[in-house]
Structure 1
Amino acid sequence: MKDVKTYIIGEISAEQFVPEHTFCYVIKGIMRLYDGNKTYDFNSGQAGLIRKNNLLRYVREKVDGEIAKVFITLDESFLKKFQAAHQTESGKFKSTEAVLSLPPNGLSDHFIHSLIPYYKSGKLEPVFANVKREELLLILLKQIPELAGVFFDYGIPQKINLEAFMNRNYKFNVSMERFAYLSGRSLSAFKRDFKSIFNDAPNHWLVCRRLAEAYFLIEKKHQRPSDIFVELGFETLSHFSFAFKKQFNILPSDLLRRKQE
């Protein structure tokens, strides 16, 4: 079995939440990102920028038994130091997409391959990590100066339409605190507004909404429970099956079997 390699500078969240801007590059294989509304595909040699304060899920596919990718986190502390050192102006950036596809750039390609030797002996040392992050940022701003409006915008999410936000993002398995923050609310305001809009508590509504979608996918699309439970925000198949049986008085596997007969 061939290797799966991931080269990381910075920290990657274990949640389906992106707390900091993250540059990604696929050396080999395919990476598919989903933001609750749109899917972004990156193939070998393609790069993208994942914007902070977004919910995102990604899957990977091997090519010739291999996948290799790079993630570089450009956190707010680093960006503020870079901006001060280089006297870089901020600005406006029109697109609100969670993931930006970056056009081909020879400098970016050379930069990626220059990273590999640093990982021969294990993890990249912090002193080199900061130098390489600065190099990457200089390359990206030279290629697309408008990205300054993304990198150097340090604002927090503003209050948005909660009903639309939740109907788009209910499949993501993140905490109530994350949902509240991304909707531009304190946790208490989030729960109060949620009750007013949905006439339900957030946790209960999420489970019911996910289960309703699961029932549709199994009954109408004949999808297997094992293929959908993670995508619908459940951590284990057993938990999903238990909740489904409690809600609909039938196991998801039995519903699928009945529809296939």
Structure 2
Amino acid sequence: MTEAETSNGSCNGRLRGRIALITGASRGIGAAVAKAFAREGAQLVLVSRTVGGLEEIDDEVQALGAPPATLVPLDLQSFEAIDQLGASLFERFGKLDVLIANAGILGALSPTGHIDPKVWQRVIDINLTANYRLIRSLEPLLRQSEAGRAVFVTSGAAQGVRPYWGPYAVSKAGLEALVRNWAGEVTKTNLKINMVDPGGTRTAMRALAYPTEDPALLKTPEDIAEHFVPLAMADCSRHGEIISLK
């Protein structure tokens, strides 16, 4: 874990003083949420595989007047590293106010019987199992907050039939079951747990899935990011919901 020096940036927004961890923070929806949270005064912990991508987003965050983010270069298939993340954050902050579990991969679009087992496992690891490990590692920190909040990014692929999308659809259906169960377990605590289904959004993953689609017809990650702010606020009362932005 690398950490930039503390700054006295002027942040007076709706998330002022709240510590928010965002996975998949170096691009797309994750990067847009990071900037939206920075404008609202959050202290950010940004997680992604690449140091360079994290540093670029941190530069943008600081340009918005927010303090430097805590940067965590982490491959979400490194489950032991996720386990250690909670302890590291406890030493640094003593708590976590917000978890935004955004990271995900598409995997192969292929007939189910043709999918390489390694591709299947990678999609399940990152889209599903890593989120279980994040819950396991970070729930104690969220409980230390006066108003712990968690938001997971899901997809319409989790619902109904989506031929050729086997690994991705299964991983998102599993994620929704995981999050609903966790939400049910913490109803008598200070935690509020929700999901966001962004629908069609102008991201690299969407371009990979629909290469002939005109991206100008899609919502931007910045359009999506604003919907995460109310779910991260201390006065959020929504719980166990899927917020669809289609």
Higher RCO structure, 1 or 2 (CA under 8 Å, sep 6+):
2
Structure 2-normalised TM-score?
0.24
Instruction: Write 1 or 2 for the structure with the bigger share of strand.
Output: 1
Q: Indicate the structure (1 or 2) with the bigger Cα radius of gyration.
A: 1
Structure 1-normalised TM-score?
0.23
